[in-house]
């Protein structure tokens, strides 16, 4: 555990509990490839919400944008600022904040608001839509990457299995995966004043790649990725840890397409683009 922070906010606690940088290390190439499709030009003002340690924020800054990364997890903000410093990126900084209430940020501040597998994890999705629209400039864009519920590819299945072993969520809980359904996206941005024709959604592949073996990679999810850590803790309390581990090992093995050593796993996500 990389932080001693204590919090009553379960959304924050979930992400501060582990060390997402261990998983993010397997996302760098895909993060760069995704950013290359964003049409970033020097001087563009970019907000990256739920940015983690900068998988997309770093390449956005390397493309010349002025980038602010906002994340709810203090440890990931610190890791992002350390990366920016070590890379000499004075046009990139990270600060703590909540996608549902970006109160530190003024209206109409950013040309591009990006959130890749980030804001989808905030528990009040309508507040997220309202906030990202508020801070985007008229004429600007919002791009979200959201995992798709029940998709047969890896991440949706990992989260499905993890949830099956976790305690039932509190009443009124809205699954993060609901952001992966176009109707919900349109409804949420609609409530924030965006007309449906300004929203496009497409299913796109993302690749996780690591020199770790599939077993080592699964161990990273068990030991460092909040949602899976919680599932292992709940399974252990029920005496079902070995069962969960076997199920996830089978999942990782099934989805691993690396031809030699290491692990390579593809996962589909919904790419949402909103013209503000």
Ligand X SMILES: C[S@@+](CC[C@H](N)C(=O)[O-])C[C@H]1O[C@@H](n2cnc3c(N)ncnc32)[C@H](O)[C@@H]1O
Question: Is residue 15 within the footprint of ligand X (CB under 6 A)?
Answer: yes
Rounded-to-integer distance, Cα 31 and Cα 94, Å: 17
SS (H, E, C) 259-273: CCCCEEEEEEEEEEE
Question: Is 224 in a helix, a strand, or coil?
Answer: helix
Which residue has its beta carbon closest to ligand X?
52
- Residue placing its CB nearer to ligand X in the complex, 20 or 221: 20
Enter the tokens of residue 139.
């004429």
Binding of residue 46 to ligand X (CB under 6 A): no
Say if residues 149 and 269 touch (Cβ distance below 8 Å): no
Q: Is the CB of 20 or the CB of 217 nearer to ligand X?
A: 20
Contact 32, 49 (CB under 8 A): no
Between 7 and 249, CB nearer to ligand X: 7
Site string for ligand X, 229-248 (x = CB under 6 A): --------------------
For residues 121 and 149, give the distance between their C-alpha atoms in angstroms, rounded to a whole number.
13
Binder of ligand X out of 20, 154, 165, 224 (CB under 6 A): 20
Q: Can you tell me which of 18, 22, 47, 52 binds ligand X, judged by CB under 6 A?
A: 52
Least Å distance between CB 176 and ligand X? 8
Using the rule CB under 6 A, which residue among 40, 72, 143, 268 binds ligand X? Answer: 72
Give the separation between CA 166 and CA 147, rounded to whole angstroms. Answer: 19
> What H or E segment, with its residue span, contains residue 206?
strand 199-210
**Stretch binding ligand X (CB under 6 A), from 43-51, 132-140, 160-168, 186-194:** 43-51
Select from 44, 58, 67, 71 the one that contacts ligand X (CB under 6 A): 71
Give the nearest distance from C-beta 196 to ligand X in angstroms: 25
Q: Which of 46, 63, 79, 116 binds ligand X (CB under 6 A)?
A: 116
Q: What is the 3-state secondary structure (H, E, C) of 174-233?
A: CCHHHHHCHHHHHHHHHHCCCCHHHEEEEEEEEEEEECCCHHHHHHHHHHHCHHHHHHHH
Cα–Cα distance measured from residue 86 to residue 266, given in angstroms and rounded to the nearest whole number: 30
**Residue 24 touches ligand X, criterion: CB under 6 A:** yes
Site for ligand X in 91-110 (CB under 6 A): 98-100
Binding site residues, ligand X, CB under 6 A: 11, 15, 20, 24, 27, 31, 49-52, 55-56, 71-73, 76, 98-100, 116-118, 121-122
């Amino acid at each position: 555990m990389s932080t001693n922070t204590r919090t009553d906010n379960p959304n924050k606690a979930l992400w501060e509990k582990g060390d997402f940088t261990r998983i993010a290390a397997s996302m760098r190439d895909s993060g760069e490839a995704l950013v290359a499709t964003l049409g970033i030009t020097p001087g563009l003002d970019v907000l990256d919400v739920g940015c983690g340690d900068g998988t997309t924020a770093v390449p956005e800054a390397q493309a010349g944008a002025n980038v602010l990364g906002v994340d709810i997890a203090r440890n990931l903000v610190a890791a992002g600022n350390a990366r920016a410093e070590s890379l000499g990126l004075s046009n990139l900084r990270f600060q703590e904040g909540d996608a549902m209430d970006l109160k530190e940020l003024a209206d109409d501040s950013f040309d591009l608001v990006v959130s890749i597998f980030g804001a989808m994890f905030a528990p009040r999705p309508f507040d997220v839509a309202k906030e990202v629209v508020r801070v985007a400039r008229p004429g600007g864009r919002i791009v979200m990457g959201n995992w798709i519920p029940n998709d047969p590819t890896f991440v949706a299945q990992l989260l499905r299995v993890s949830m099956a072993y976790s305690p039932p969520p509190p009443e009124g809980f809205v699954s993060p995966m609901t952001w992966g359904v176009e109707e919900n996206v349109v409804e949420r941005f609609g409530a924030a004043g965006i007309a449906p024709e300004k929203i496009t959604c497409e299913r796109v592949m993302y690749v996780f790649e690591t020199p770790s073996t599939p077993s080592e990679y699964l161990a990273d999810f068990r030991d460092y990725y909040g949602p899976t850590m919680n599932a292992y803790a709940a399974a252990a309390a029920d005496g079902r840890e070995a069962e969960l581990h076997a199920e996830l090992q089978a999942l990782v093995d099934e989805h691993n397409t690396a031809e030699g050593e290491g692990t390579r796993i593809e996962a589909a996500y919904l790419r949402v683009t909103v013209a503000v």
